[in-house]
Amino acid sequence: MIGDARRWRILAGAVAAGMAGVLGVTANTAAAEPLYPLPPQPSPASQPVTVMPGSAQARQSTGQLGIAPAAPAAQSLATPALPPGAAVPAPQTLIPANSQTLNDYFHEKGIKLEPQAARDFTALNIVLPVPRGWSQVPDPNVPDAFAVLADRVGGDGIYTSNAALVVYKLAGGDFDPKEAITHGFIDSQLLPAWSTTNASLADFGGMPSAMIEGSYRDNNMSLNTARRHTIATSGQDSYLVSLAVTTTVREAVPTANATDAITNGFRITAPGAPAVPAPAAPAAAAAAAPALAQAPPR
Identify the pLDDT of residue 279: 47
User: What mean pLDDT is predicted for residues 185-214?
Assistant: 98
Domain covering 3-68+96-294, topology: Protein Transport Mog1p; Chain A (3.40.1000)
Identify the pLDDT of residue 48: 30
Q: What is the pLDDT of residues 96-113, one digit of tens each?
A: 999 999 999 999 999 999
Identify the pLDDT of residue 91: 63
**What is the average pLDDT value for the chain, to the nearest integer?**
74
Least confident of 58-72, 167-181, 264-278: 58-72
Domain residue extents for the chain? 3-68+96-294
Q: Is the pLDDT of residue 11 over 90?
A: no
Least confident of 74-83, 176-185, 249-258: 74-83
Secondary structure, 3-state, the chain: CCHHHCCEEEECCCCCCCEEEEEEECCCCCCCCCCCCCCCCCCCCCCCEEECCCCHHHHHCCCCCCCCCCCCCCCCCCCCCCCCCCCCCCCCCCCCCCCCCHHHHHHHCCCEEEECCHHHCCCCEEEEEEECCEEECCCCCCCCCCEEEEECCCCCCCCCCEEEEEEEEEECCCCCHHHHHCCCCHHHHCCCCCEEEEEECCCECCECEEEEEEEEEECCEEEEEEEEEEEEEECCEEEEEEEEEEEECCCCCCCHHHHHHHHHHCEEECCCCCCCCCCCCCCCCCCCCCEEEECCCC
Identify the pLDDT of residue 116: 97
Using a pLDDT cut of 90, give the percent of the chain over it.
54
User: What mean pLDDT is predicted for residues 226-245?
Assistant: 98
Q: Is the pLDDT of residue 209 over 50?
A: yes
User: What mean pLDDT is predicted for residues 123-131?
Assistant: 97
Least confident of 76-90, 161-175, 280-294: 280-294
Q: What is the pLDDT of residues 78-97, one digit of tens each?
A: 444 556 655 555 667 899 99
Q: Assign 276 a pLDDT band (cuts: 50, 70, 90).
A: low
Q: Is the pLDDT of residue 42 over 60?
A: no
Identify the pLDDT of residue 120: 86
